[in-house]
Amino acid sequence: MLEINNLHVDIDGKQIINGLTLTVPAGEVHAVMGPNGSGKSTLSYTLAGRDGYEATDGTATLGGADLLGLDPEERAALGLFLAFQYPVEIPGVAGMTFVKTALNAVRTARGEGELSALDFLKLVRAHLKDLGIDEAMLKRPVNAGFSGGEKKRNEVLQMALLEPKFCILDETDSGLDIDALKIVADGVNRMRGPERGMLVITHYQRLLDYIKPDKVHVLAKGRIVKTGGPELALELEEKGYGDVLAGLAA
Amino acid sequence: MSATAETVADVERLNEKYKYGFVTDIEAEYAPKGLSEDTVRFISAKKNEPEWLLEWRLEAYRRWLEMKEPDWGKLRYPPIDYEDAYYYSAPKSNENAPESLDDVDPELLRTYEKLGIPLREQEMLAGVKNIAVDVVFDSVSVATTFKKKLAEAGVIFSSISEAIQEHPELIRKYMGAVVPRDDNYFAALNSAVFTDGSFVYIPKGVKCPMELSTYFRINAENTGQFERTLIIAEEGSYVSYLEGCTAPMRDENQLHAAVVELVTHADAEIKYSTVQNWYPGDENGVGGIYNFVTKRALCAGDRSKVSWTQVETGSAITWKYPSCILQGDDSQGEFYSVAIANNMQQADTGTKMIHMGKRTRSRIISKGISAGKAQNSYRGLVKMLPTAEKARNYTQCDSLLIGDQCGAHTFPYIESQNRSARVEHEATTSKISEDQLFYCRQRGIGEEEAVALVVNGFCREVLQQLPMEFAVEAQKLVSISLEGSVG
């Protein structure tokens, strides 16, 4: 599914990702954990194709298709979804307009054609109901004045609507209290399936109590330095990143 | 691809950008080229005008000769040669004014079909739009729809030429009452050579039963359009009026100098909306309309209200400040503006709110968007006269920049001569946010569509002031105007 091989990324001349290799097969959820400054956000931005986050070396493919040469919207059309750590406010653009524009753009790119207004509304309402979100949220401008919990729920709603093949969750737990975290995790867990892969990027183990990963990778200094099962996350929580980093230095 | 095929493809692509750029091949009658007293006499005679109006025009012309073209706008353009233009062009087939639409040249009807302006009343009725339309082609009005239905309500909606014949007393009373003929250089020019435009009269207590709309089209080459519009709302009446404008793509610059006067009596309200989409010129600044417009409302009566909403996307040069004189106590003026300047366009636009009456209120919301190498200025005056007890103004000017070669400027002037009056001004300038664009694109929305979405959001406060029928079209227009502004 997602295959990253020897990825290198420079930001303003500084090497942030430094030979990262990682494979997430379809149907699996992998967690990437790492201390601040280890390159977690750079990894998610590079995979999603943000301007200024270009790979200098290595490859990244999704379902065999090369990601790195594509525009962000082309990657989205291939089925890549990034749930943002800090979802962006778009004043004046109603949530409903935004998700409709996005869904139709992705459907058009996939050759599925736009949905009629009625079919779209039915689909949105079904997802809102599943996720327990009030339709009023979509009448407000995108993320404008939203609480942290509302923003993350909006991300999960979009994820459900766009039916991506692969989801990257970038520090989805940041800014959430425990109740909001459960709701968001529940939404993410509904998306798990044999055809879909997920990469959960997080600093804390807490999120992984609710989204159980198949594998845990430790990211440090721009590379995966350790891989293990869910127990690795617990170990990190208990001992901190110090041991792993110390092992690196040695 | 062969060179010819390439050219054809290029032209087609250009046409898509400005889809109103076609020319109608129609026989026209012109005034002799250039501007003189004879030109003024020619126009007046063509319109069969009364002697007083000819004198009024001639006086305006003489004053214009002594005036100087204003140079305080943040606009740069080569000197305009007023002798090298036609001041009157009328479709020949229109010489004997058509009695009904059946008599209108089919070529003209096709032009409006192409522009998406329905003129046949049955077509309009079949659709959802409930709008009466006056259509001005170059120098003359070619058709006004729904006149009968409006007349039943006592509403007069006709071309100004017709009103001069049919309602001379109203014209004589109001023409020049709000914008004096020597108000400024372009108003004086217009007063001398104005050709057509719309006239609206709403009697006391009448709420106009439908939206009124005028559609202005410049077609002929080397021809200026000088229209004049006059709207009078008697006590307790209401009307919503919309004007739209397009022109063919031509390499030379064409002059458009209009005057619009609005008068509201006690408790009356006029809502005036403009979607200005004159040809803006090409990416290199060749061609395009020079748009110099004087628009002013007199809120004469107590509790009267005028609301200007404008979406300015076209023209190479825009010089335009729709204003309100708030004379009646408790009268209100509003100005909602979206001005988009892309490529080499230059816009200098804003408003004047002159508070005279007690407790008068005004609200200014201006959204300026600059892209390409364009320059976009907001210029506004809020003036509180000594009589403006407890008057209030709120102004908000937001500028959005796309790319790093364009400019946004704000020139707010505030003069307060009354200590109980309050003036608030807020202004922001921002670049289109890379975060927002990336967020949209990550969701699958292409870059140009993302820009259009974000910009439409930025303009929303203004766009939602437009009559519903036009709001959707205005949104599309915003997107089209910004094509090619990124990447």
Do residue B447 and residue A93 have CB atoms under 8 angstroms apart? no
Q: Compute the average pLDDT of residues B338-345.
A: 90
Which residues of chain A are within 8 Å of residue B447 when distances are taken between CB atoms? 71, 73
pLDDT for B125: 43
A63 Rama class: left (phi>0) / alpha (psi -120 to 50) / beta: left
The pTM of the full predicted model, rounded to 2 decimals, is: 0.84
Residue A47 has pLDDT above 80, yes or no: yes
Q: Which of A75, A77, A84 sits opposite B439 (nearest CB)?
A: A84
CA closest to B435 among chain A residues: A88
Please, are residues A28 and A223 in contact by the beta-carbon 8 Å criterion? no
Percent of chain A with pLDDT over 90: 76
Please give the residue that has the higher pLDDT: either A240 or A116: A116
Pick the closest to residue B186 from B308, B320, B386 (CA basis).
Answer: B320
Provide the pLDDT confidence category of residue B288 given band limits of 50, 70 and 90.
Answer: confident
pLDDT tens digits, one per residue of B359-412 = 999 999 999 999 989 999 999 999 999 999 999 999 999 999 998 899 999 999
pLDDT tens digits, one per residue of B82-106 = 888 888 877 666 555 555 666 666 6
Tokens (6 digits) for B358: 């007690």
Q: Compute the average pLDDT of residues A236-243.
A: 82
Task: Name which of A64-68, A133-137, B312-316, B480-484 the model is least confident about.
Answer: B480-484
Do residue A90 and residue B440 have CB atoms under 8 angstroms apart? yes
pLDDT tens digits, one per residue of A84-96 = 999 999 999 999 9
Which residues of chain B are within 8 Å of residue A102 when distances are taken between CB atoms? 440, 443-445
Provide the pLDDT confidence category of residue B143 given band limits of 50, 70 and 90.
Answer: low
Q: Compute the average pLDDT of residues B50-57.
A: 95
H helices of B67-167, in order, are 106-115, 121-126, 147-152, 160-166
Which residues of chain B are within 8 Å of residue A89 when distances are taken between CB atoms? 436
pLDDT for B216: 74
Cβ count near B57 (within 10 Å): 22
What is the bridge-based pairing of β-strands B198-202 and B156-159? Answer: antiparallel
Residue B12 has pLDDT above 50, yes or no: no
Do residue A88 and residue B433 have CB atoms under 8 angstroms apart? yes
pLDDT tens digits, one per residue of B189-232 = 999 999 888 999 999 999 998 888 887 776 666 667 888 999 99
Provide the pLDDT confidence category of residue A104 given band limits of 50, 70 and 90.
Answer: very high
- Sorted by sequence, the CB contacts under 8 Å of residue A137 that are 6+ apart come out as A95, A146, A150, A153, A154, A157
CA closest to B443 among chain A residues: A102
pLDDT for B10: 47
Tokens (6 digits) for A73: 């919207």
Q: Compute the average pLDDT of residues A62-87.
A: 95
Pick the closest to residue B247 from B316, B145, B340, B343 (CA basis).
Answer: B316
pLDDT for B260: 96
Which residues of chain B are within 8 Å of residue A82 when distances are taken between CB atoms? 442
pLDDT for B93: 60
* SS3 state at B329: coil
Do residue B436 and residue A88 have CB atoms under 8 angstroms apart? yes
Cβ count near B34 (within 10 Å): 14
ipTM over 0.85: yes
Please give the residue that has the higher pLDDT: either A34 or B327: B327
Residue B355 has pLDDT above 70, yes or no: yes
Q: Give the phi and the psi of residue B477 in degrees, each rounded to 5.
A: -60, -40
Pick the closest to residue A33 from A248, A181, A211, A237 (CA basis).
Answer: A237
Which residues of chain B are within 8 Å of residue A154 when distances are taken between CB atoms? none
- Sorted by sequence, the CB contacts under 8 Å of residue A153 that are 6+ apart come out as A131, A133, A137, A180, A183, A184, A187
Using the Cβ of A140 and the Cβ atoms of chain B, whether some distance falls under 8 Å is answered with no
Q: Which of A51, A93, A109 sits opposite B453 (nearest CB)?
A: A93
Q: Which of A77, A92, A141 sits opposite B444 (nearest CB)?
A: A77
Task: Name which of A25-39, B262-276, B346-360, B455-469 the model is least confident about.
Answer: B455-469
Q: Which amino acid appears at position B330 of this protein?
A: D
pLDDT for B430: 87
Residue B319 has pLDDT above 90, yes or no: yes
Please give the residue that has the higher pLDDT: either B303 or B452: B303
Residue B16 has pLDDT above 80, yes or no: no
Please, are residues B279 and B311 in contact by the beta-carbon 8 Å criterion? no
pLDDT for B450: 94
Q: What Rg, from alpha-carbon coordinates, does chain B have?
A: 22
H helices of B304-445, in order, are 434-442
Using the Cβ of B487 and the Cβ atoms of chain A, whether some distance falls under 8 Å is answered with no
Cβ count near B358 (within 10 Å): 18
d(CA B65, CA A66): 69
Tokens (6 digits) for B209: 């039963």
pLDDT tens digits, one per residue of B158-175 = 889 999 999 999 999 999
Measured between its terminal Cα atoms, the distance across chain A in Å is 34
Task: Name which of A186-200, A228-242, B1-15, B331-345 the model is least confident about.
Answer: B1-15
Provide the pLDDT confidence category of residue B4 given band limits of 50, 70 and 90.
Answer: very low
Measured between its terminal Cα atoms, the distance across chain B in Å is 25
Which residues of chain B are within 8 Å of residue A50 when distances are taken between CB atoms? 438
Q: Which of A71, A76, A92 sits opposite B443 (nearest CB)?
A: A76
